[in-house]
Structure 1
Amino acid sequence: MNDLAIRDVKIYKASSELKKPISDSTHTLTEISFIVMRIQLENGIIGESYLLSFQYSPNAIIGALKDIVPAVKGHQCFETGIVHQKLENLFEYFGNQGLLRWSQAAVNIAMWDAWAKSQKLPVHKLLGVTKEKVHMYGSGGWISYSIDELIEEVTDYANRGFKAVKIKVGSPKVSTDLERLKKVREAVGDKVDIMMDANQGMDLPSAIKLSNEAKNLNIHWFEEPVNHQNFQAFEILKNQTGVSLAMGEREFDTLALRELISRNALDIWQPDILRIGGVEAWRESAALANSFHLPVLPHYYKDYDVPLLCTIPNGVGAESFDWVNPLIDNPMVIKDGYAKPHDLPGWGFNFIDDRLTEIK
């Protein structure tokens, strides 16, 4: 018997409290939910991963995760590259992007957790450390918030020591976004950076207008101003306004990164570890960004991103939401605007059993 072989795979759901729906320019979220994968090795070690699912396509993503179980059983937990390529070949018929990429990443992250636990090391120490802590920014600022709710959130972040906040833009009127940005600047002062995120919800003329009219507010960057595949619009927006542009969370590969680099139309690369395919794919994209002197500030998954950012030279910061914190046994500590990786083996945290519902 090989002690490090994958014996079993189980899938669970967990949910965090959401008092009322929240909206950005393109989505309304009615639940904050997570799909959790646990792989068990022959020696009993559990490797774990999770993905943020909200209310979207629950049967589709669960089906994609279940489909990979027969393909990964029996593989040793350190065979992450072998399993990735095996799944790449299996997925080719229906497409390597989308839901199948998410499932590929989920098992990859769980395998890294199990492998690092078997070595009694945190993942970042297994990969090699370049820094000890990472700058964090507070995220949210939903369009559905009232002005009072918006100010309450950003001032809470500032009071907790965050040195940067990000809010949503892409309201029906640019004047509404501008007014909200002004209120946030008044609330947090000049010592806190402000970023804005349109979630692809603006057209080019509106994005140009907002970028120009918000210049005196010292906006740090503009994330996903338009559709993520409208590379020409990114280029025009950059050339006409000079605003720093950020994107990457929608990407299942590095095509957009390469295209925008060629157009000199990207300033910040934001890979999503689940969409891009897992640890190796995340780090490969970061290396490509580094070769063109672009910083990496990933999307959402701080409990994975902070450790990985500490293993690359161009890891600049990470996004912080508190949604997963009540569901795990070792929430990440953020102090004075910085976070350090968990120091326990693997990713350094596990979901609390009582908060999980197994999906059969």
Structure 2
Amino acid sequence: MKIVDFEIHRCRIPLDRPIGDSQVIFTEHFMTVLELKTDDGQTGVGFELQQGMPIPARSQLEEQYRYNGWSAVEGQSPLGMAMRIGRPRGGNVGASVLGLATETAMWDLAAKQADLPLYRLFGGTNPRVRAYGSTLDFHLDETEFRSWMGHFTEMGMRGIKVKVGHPDIEWDLNRLSMVHDVLGEDVDVMIDANEAWSPKEAIGRMKRYDDAGFEIFWIEDPITREDYPGYAMLAAEIGTARINTGEYLGFHGKRRLLESGGVDVLNIHGQFQASRAAAYLAGDYGVPVSLGNTLMELGVHLAASLPECLYLEFSDLAWNRLAIEPVRFEDGHAIAPDRPGHGITLDRDALAEYSEPA
């Protein structure tokens, strides 16, 4: 099996709710879909998302990919390319075009070549991964927030993540009160501040939440991502709440974070190979991992193959409209598809509906 051709689709998908946090708000997805085609008729599919601004026209994407990516892909064995380890380098390493989409499509093809679901190729044996509902609720009103919590509860999820970091702490406390109103207290409550605070502010906020009677399962991204001493300070001060962070750091940053002792759950997502390496490193420090939102929920394959993944994030986002059969959720768990490859087949009608070549 060798890769002989590619096709790119440029998509714009409106969201069914505004999503965001203490820093940003989004109302649509700008996505690139990459298809890699082989000499024996197989197709591997990869995805890439750009938030906050449109992506270039399809003709420009094709030109960029042909110039800065295709020469490294054409004629290659998918499994060989997927397994290849890149050398970490600083400085100017050159342009990278559709790196995530390419790697995803490669692994899709590699698993198809092996006639295995991707999680099985990664060494997993159990396709079920515990999932939590992520409301992305910072810009939702109270009625919408309650509705989304109810939606995830109906899916059997016993973990819920709430956006915090509002300038008015009473807003945060009101959101946490609504969680108890809708879900009761027998639920894992995660909160996500999206780097809204300084270390001392984070310590103060966590004390207020605790004094108000809210038991927090984890606090995600409370301070800026590279404040390693700050994370160590938090770990010493905030009691039993776990610190979850790391998804926005490269491998070097994740290593420094783990060395600081300031993380209890390492959050990973993105490229499979890099995420697997990060999870292995976390294991060396005795730190479990969680999976943040991944395009088309494909992180379920990674999560199902890791020995200690606490939770997988699910926000029920619009990208799933592009799949004939999206990743399935059952009794609060994501179920890795059992079809060869990553299991996502494009819905050509939906792809045509949301494609915007220019």
TM-score, normalised with respect to structure 1 = 0.88
Q: How far does residue 281 in structure 1 lie from its aligned partner after superposition?
A: 1.5
What CA distance in whole angstroms lies between the structure 2 residues aligned with 1:198 and 1:51? Answer: 25
The reply to whether residue 179 of structure 1 matches residue 180 of structure 2 is no
Distance of aligned partners of 1:350 and 1:54 in 2 relative to their CA distance in 1, 3 Å threshold: farther
Residue in 1 that maps onto 2:107: 112
Matching residue's letter, 1:332: V
When structure 1 is superposed on structure 2, of 223-232 and 46-55 the one drifting more is 46-55
The reply to whether residue 188 of structure 1 matches residue 180 of structure 2 is no
Q: How far does residue 355 in structure 1 lie from its aligned partner after superposition?
A: 2.5
2:132 to 129, 132, 137: 137
Matches within 5 A, 1:18-97: 18-19=15-16, 21-56=18-53, 58-59=55-56, 62=61, 65=65, 67-80=68-81, 85=86, 94-95=92-93
1:287 to 268, 276, 280: 280
Deviation by residue 1:40-79 (Cα, 9 ceiling, x = unmatched):
0111100011123233362399476552122211111112
The reply to whether residue 232 of structure 1 matches residue 226 of structure 2 is no
What CA distance in whole angstroms lies between the structure 2 residues aligned with 1:16 and 1:359? Answer: 13
Residue in 2 that maps onto 1:214: 209
Q: How far does residue 329 in structure 1 lie from its aligned partner after superposition?
A: 1.1
What CA distance in whole angstroms lies between the structure 1 residues aligned with 2:333 and 2:309? Answer: 13
Q: What is the SS of the residue equivalent to 1:31?
A: strand
Over aligned residues, Cα RMSD in angstroms? 2.5
Matching residue's letter, 1:252: G
1:268 to 265, 269, 272: 265
The reply to whether residue 146 of structure 1 matches residue 141 of structure 2 is yes
Matching residue's letter, 1:9: F
Is the 8 Å Cα contact of residues 82 and 106 (structure 2) preserved in structure 1? no
Q: How far does residue 122 in structure 1 lie from its aligned partner after superposition?
A: 0.8
Distance of aligned partners of 1:222 and 1:95 in 2 relative to their CA distance in 1, 3 Å threshold: farther
Matching residue's letter, 2:250: F
Residue in 1 that maps onto 2:247: 249
2:163 to 164, 168, 173: 168
Residue in 2 that maps onto 1:317: 311
Matching residue's letter, 2:342: W
% identity of equivalent residues: 26
Q: What is the SS of the residue equivalent to 1:30?
A: strand
What CA distance in whole angstroms lies between the structure 2 residues aligned with 1:286 and 1:139? Answer: 22
Unaligned runs of 5+ in 1: none
Q: What is the SS of the residue equivalent to 2:79?
A: coil
Q: What is the SS of the residue equivalent to 1:17?
A: strand
What CA distance in whole angstroms lies between the structure 2 residues aligned with 1:84 and 1:105? Answer: 14
Is the 8 Å Cα contact of residues 136 and 315 (structure 2) preserved in structure 1? no
Q: How far does residue 319 in structure 1 lie from its aligned partner after superposition?
A: 0.7
Q: How far does residue 137 in structure 1 lie from its aligned partner after superposition?
A: 0.5
Q: How far does residue 181 in structure 1 lie from its aligned partner after superposition?
A: 1.3
How many correspondences in the alignment?
346
Matching residue's letter, 2:50: S
Is the 8 Å Cα contact of residues 130 and 313 (structure 1) preserved in structure 2? no
TM-score, normalised with respect to structure 2 = 0.88
Unaligned runs of 5+ in 2: none
